[in-house]
Amino acid sequence: MRAFGYDIDQLVIAHVLLAIIPVILGMIIALPLGWWAHRSRGARRVLVPLSGALYTIPSLALIVFIPVVLGTPILSPVNVGLTLTIYTVALLVRSVAEALDAVPASVSLAALAVGYRPAGLLLGVQLPLAVPVLTAGLRVASVSSFSLVTVGALVGIESLGTLMTDGFQQDYTAMVVTGIVGSIALAFIFDALWLGLGRALTPWSRARAGV
């Protein structure tokens, strides 16, 4: 589909990839960090404020700063991807720690008592039980990522944000609105996806007495 002189499909695909890959990478990085913060009070005292502080760095600053540090080309999508990954990690470290905290101690204790080793306890009991809180964190990170991806357009990284920046320059309202509505719609679609995934993984959480 073409509109406003752009291949919209391509913008949508770029937008989705640029928003989602960092969310997934961020989750993969946040899991061990969050687990560490859950296990050790010392680690938590450092990791949680640090990740909170990371989130306060303006996105544009990160996007232009990363090429300076890493030597990536200034127009590389990697700069945006990395920025969003950092934000996702910043949001999720605390989420993961709290999700693991929320697993009832009696259940973890029972798991150890029947003979789980630490890895089995984490994978077989704690993580599955953490899914509801993890999903909530993931949804926030995902919505945030879909919105922040548009900032990349300011430095020429293509996404639906490009319609906003270019539309603004050309004083073309319909183009700006298309960009905004499109990116919001994508954020909603993926939000629904995470919600559905979370529910599919936790049939037990909806079980109530007498059902």
Residues that bind another protein (CB under 8 A): 104, 106-107, 109-117, 120, 125, 128-129, 202-205, 207-211
Task: Report the nearest approach of another protein to the CB of residue 123 (Å).
Answer: 12
Nearer to another protein, 50 or 117 (CB): 117
* Buried/exposed 142-178: b ≥16 CB within 10 Å, e otherwise: bbbbbbbbbbbbebebbbbbbbbbbbeeeeeeebbeb
Backbone phi and psi for residue 35, each to the nearest 5 degrees, phi listed first:
-60, -40
Nearer to another protein, 24 or 123 (CB): 123
Cβ neighbours of residue 54 under 8 Å, at least 6 residues apart? 86, 87, 89, 90
Backbone phi and psi for residue 168, each to the nearest 5 degrees, phi listed first:
-65, -45
Nearer to another protein, 67 or 132 (CB): 132
Task: Report the nearest approach of another protein to the CB of residue 204 (Å).
Answer: 5
Nearer to another protein, 78 or 201 (CB): 201
Task: Report the nearest approach of another protein to the CB of residue 196 (Å).
Answer: 18
Nearer to another protein, 5 or 104 (CB): 104
Task: Report the nearest approach of another protein to the CB of residue 114 (Å).
Answer: 5
Q: How far apart are CA 186 and CA 173, in angstroms?
A: 20
Task: Report the nearest approach of another protein to the CB of residue 127 (Å).
Answer: 10
Can you name the residues that pair with 6 across neighbouring β-strands? 3
Total length of the chain: 211
